[in-house]
Amino acid sequence: MNKKIIMIAVQVLVLAGAVGGTWFFMSDPAPEPVAGDEASAEAAAASQKKEPEYYSLSPSFVVNLQGERNIRFLMIEIDLMSRRDDVFSRIEQYEPRIRNDLLMLFSNLDREAVATVEQRQNLQEQALVTINGVLNSESGKGGVEAVYFTKFVIQ
């Protein structure tokens, strides 16, 4: 009889451990914010990153490369990435100036300036600085996080 009680107690403990472990791993780790606790709700919302959105600067940028005996062209298609809501409306508003400044940047290039991957990445960074510079000077805030070359052709 003593062994039966011990066996039942062990089975109850194992069952309780299984139920407790299941509850622990299946429960929501973040507690629901209490009504009136708006500061913690705002902090939770700020900690979640917004999904990136993309904007394509169309049409493609086409420029002559400098210092070439034969005329060479560079064609670049650019997509922009941001996580802010108002950035792309500001890009549309200031797109003529953005396109102008990017064309000025690209038209100063020669073939050697875009020969390697590192040089192209440097050009992407310069384009990002140029775009955010226009947005900062016109609207007081940037917001573009990345510039992607979706087509890069030298002919």
pTM above 0.85, yes or no: no
Q: Reading across the β-sheet that carries 146-154, which strands appear in turn? A: 53-64, 73-82, 146-154
Question: For 66-107, what is each residue's pLDDT tens digit?
Answer: 876 777 899 999 999 999 989 999 999 999 999 999 999 999
Q: Which tens digit of pLDDT belongs to each residue from 20-58?
A: 666 666 665 655 555 555 655 555 555 567 899 999 999
Roughly how many angstroms between the first and final C-alpha of the chain, as a whole number? Answer: 92
Q: What architecture (CATH level 2) is domain 53-154?
A: 2-Layer Sandwich (3.30)
3-state secondary structure of 52: coil
Per-residue pLDDT of 109-134, as tens digits, reads 988 889 899 999 999 999 999 999 99
